[in-house]
Structure 1
Amino acid sequence: MRLRTLLGLTLGAGLGWLLLAPTRVRPVAWEGPGLAPSRTGGPYADNGRLDTAEHFAPVPGQTSPESVAVDAQGRLYSGFGSGAIVRFAPDGSRPEVVANTGGRPLGLRFHPDGSLLVADALRGLLRVRLDGGEPEVLATGAEGVPFRFTDDLDVDRAGRFVYFTDASSKYPWPHELLDLLEHGGHGRVLRHDLETGDTAVLARGLNFPNGVTLGPEEAYLVVTETGGPRVHRLWLVGERAGTLEVFTDHLPGYPDNVRWDGVDTFWVALPSRRSPLLDATARQPWLRRMIARISERVKLPLPEESMLVALNLEGRPVAFAQGSGPGSYGYITQVLPHGEHLILSSLHGETLARVPVAQVQS
């Protein structure tokens, strides 16, 4: 009898904590993305094309390469969890630390002048000159609102405008799950003018806008919205300038970075398969508040998998690759087309990896 009473009191206290404990997360009810695409048929069927990936040389003392950029000599660069910027030879060998942002580097792009532009989650928009010196802070906020989660970026061919995302103005790195649970529209897409130093907001009210890339003729941006989960097109020129439209929205996972191949394909990383729990509780904010109380104290992982998708210029999937075997490279956060390969980065990986483009498109 005493044991049953003790168990009852314990369960009651646990339920009371889940219902009443303080939390900064204020979930918003929304319609949700609908049913996830089939894993057995259609464009997103499991295919094992990523079950074998060639891993680059390990980097002593470094983990979690989130993004990757390539310089004029074909060398590859990635930002690691320690703040280090690591350079690899074109074949993935000979890694060496060439800089450190002092924060958490996420998106990387090379400026036409050879400097490296960095979206640093903790420090804002940076420029790193690889010949030495401290990183230059270009912007830390816009319209009086500080950046809390500077995420990804692209730069125009003229080298004047940097387009980038602040994934959340409320939840800093590494609390992306709290932003996804709240669905409060704290994300923005921005443009920084390197000549004047001005930063303008191009789009707001997004739920964790993540990857960004310029499209053909620099007429528009393609922006991934992890909390959608969907991909947008933001027009920059013409009659539709300033218009944000859905590019694609029936994805099997949460989109991260996106890169254009310069011809006709956008490569989107999908680090995590969609969570049935998040999908099912879209209209029940009180349930997501309970989940948030736990996730503020314990890291709750999303369903990790190895996935990527290629979209054509109309936003339709033209290639999909998935893997879950022991040789796959999980939690892919960026896919960079480079010659005959796709270079992969991962927040949960120890180094970069690559797979042949032909293997993905077969």
Structure 2
Amino acid sequence: MAKGQPVRPVAWHCPPAPSLDRGPYAINRRLQRLQRFYPIEGSGPEGVAVDGVGRIVVGYGDGRVVRSRLRDDTFETLANTRGRPLGMAPRDDGTVFVADALRGLLRIDPDGSIDVLSTQAEGLPYRFTNDLAVDAAGAHVYFTDSSSKWGVGYDTVDIIEHGGHGRLLHYNCATGTTSVLMKGLQFANGVALGPDDAYVLVAESGQYRVQRYWLKGPKAGTADVFVDNLPGFPDNISFNGRDRFWLAIAAPRNSLLDSLSQRPLIRRIIANLPAAIQPKPARHGIVLAFGLEGKLVANVQHRGQSAFWKITSACEVGEWLVCGSVDENALARMPLHDVFAED
């Protein structure tokens, strides 16, 4: 239920959802091979990232940022942000950049101290800092503020409203300044840099797409669509450093919500309903992979009561695919060769 400010839904054209019964996004059972594992006791390990020596770094709902080794499941707590750490970008020197939904853009130093780097851009404070990516030199951070209107716990309201409150931002480590690269995004979410840091991808959960913002070359400063009309709400993106991007789909699309894209009044009523009776996502895990030109190269799913769901991140760690979730109390992993195997 929306509180504190009015919901003003905007009419928009929602494209027909791609089929989950047939075609490239057809439901399969490959994600049944995911194995849950528990580096620590905690809930909501949303944003999983890997450092240069193969350790995973993840933030939990209680504010802890944890680093773990897959080979023996040992872990260490790097810091507690006292907020809600979401996106992670570990560096080889032990530094970890963090997109904290409540506190903004942070940096955890190797000694565990925390620096707050950015909390606003163009005079507009962040309400929902979500994900980030850092260039190879460690000089530039690209990150999202999902909504400048709605904060944590109101992501559904922001998506129902479709007001375009999301931004893609750039932080210059040398000058300490933040600039806005893109605005008007529909719940700006995952971020990943492409090869040679030539472009940055940004997921728009409320628009079912991923956009590409060019940083270098003749298209620098412009954006185009990398993947459009996805079968669900795209969340975090990761690049394996070679040939593919992994895209977590937090939930499949909701047919009722899609059908009301041109009916803002009804959507306003829904947005103001108690959370308990608002539309709920199906228990359905989806992870997709795309090549460098946006072609689908992997589709792994699992629907059912035992599914690892609300998957918000997926990344390659050696020979494993590791997934995080905003709702589960575990991480999950599966061998990469199982991702591409037949059902």
For Structure 1 versus Structure 2, the TM-score category normalised by the shorter chain is: over 0.9
Within 1, Cα distance between the matches of 2:72 and 2:12?
43
Q: Which residue of structure 2 lines up, in the alignment, with residue 37 of structure 1?
A: 18
Within 2, Cα distance between the matches of 1:160 and 1:290?
45
Q: How does 1:197-208 map to 2 (within 5 A)?
A: 197-208=176-187
Which of 133, 139, 149 aligns to 1:154? It is 133
Structure 2 CA distance for partners of 1:257 and 1:22, relative to 1, 3 Å: closer
* More strand per residue: 2
Q: Which residue of structure 2 lines up, in the alignment, with residue 88 of structure 1?
A: 68
Report the residue type matching 1:319 in the other structure. A
Q: Tell whether the 8 Å contact from 2:51 to 2:91 is kept in structure 1 after alignment.
A: no
State the TM-score, normalized to the length of structure 2: 0.94
Q: Which residue of structure 1 lines up, in the alignment, with residue 7 of structure 2?
A: 25
Within 2, Cα distance between the matches of 1:236 and 1:58?
37
Cα RMSD after superposing both structures: 1.9
Q: How does 1:125-204 map to 2 (within 5 A)?
A: 125-133=105-113, 135-204=114-183
Which of 319, 326, 331 aligns to 1:347? It is 326
Work out the number of aligned pairs and report it.
340
Structure 2 CA distance for partners of 1:92 and 1:104, relative to 1, 3 Å: farther
- 1:77 deviates by 1.6
Where does the alignment leave 5 or more consecutive residues of structure 1 unmatched?
1-17
1:220 aligns with 2:202: no
State the TM-score, normalized to the length of structure 1: 0.90
Within 2, Cα distance between the matches of 1:154 and 1:87?
18
Report the residue type matching 1:31 in the other structure. H
Q: Tell whether the 8 Å contact from 1:52 to 1:327 is kept in structure 2 after alignment.
A: no
Q: Tell whether the 8 Å contact from 2:52 to 2:91 is kept in structure 1 after alignment.
A: no
Which of 284, 290, 297 aligns to 1:311? It is 290
Residues 122-178 of structure 1, C-alpha deviations (whole Å, 9 max, x = no match): 000000124233x11000000000011000000011110000011100001121011
- Matched position secondary structure for 2:28: coil
- 1:53 deviates by 1.1
- 1:91 deviates by 2.8
Which of 27, 34, 40 aligns to 1:53? It is 34
- 1:299 deviates by 6.2
Q: How does 1:52-71 map to 2 (within 5 A)?
A: 52-57=33-38, 59-60=40-41, 62-71=42-51
The structure with the largest alpha-carbon Rg is 1
Residues 30-62 of structure 1, C-alpha deviations (whole Å, 9 max, x = no match): 001x222112211111110001311112523x1
Report the residue type matching 2:10 in the other structure. V
- Give me the identity figure in percent: 46
- 1:74 deviates by 2.1
Structure 1 range deviating more: 274-283 or 327-336: 327-336
Which of 238, 244, 250 aligns to 1:271? It is 250
Within 2, Cα distance between the matches of 1:22 and 1:247?
35
Report the residue type matching 2:181 in the other structure. L
Structure 2 CA distance for partners of 1:147 and 1:283, relative to 1, 3 Å: same
Structure 2 CA distance for partners of 1:287 and 1:75, relative to 1, 3 Å: same
Residues 98-122 of structure 1, C-alpha deviations (whole Å, 9 max, x = no match): 3100100000001343200000000
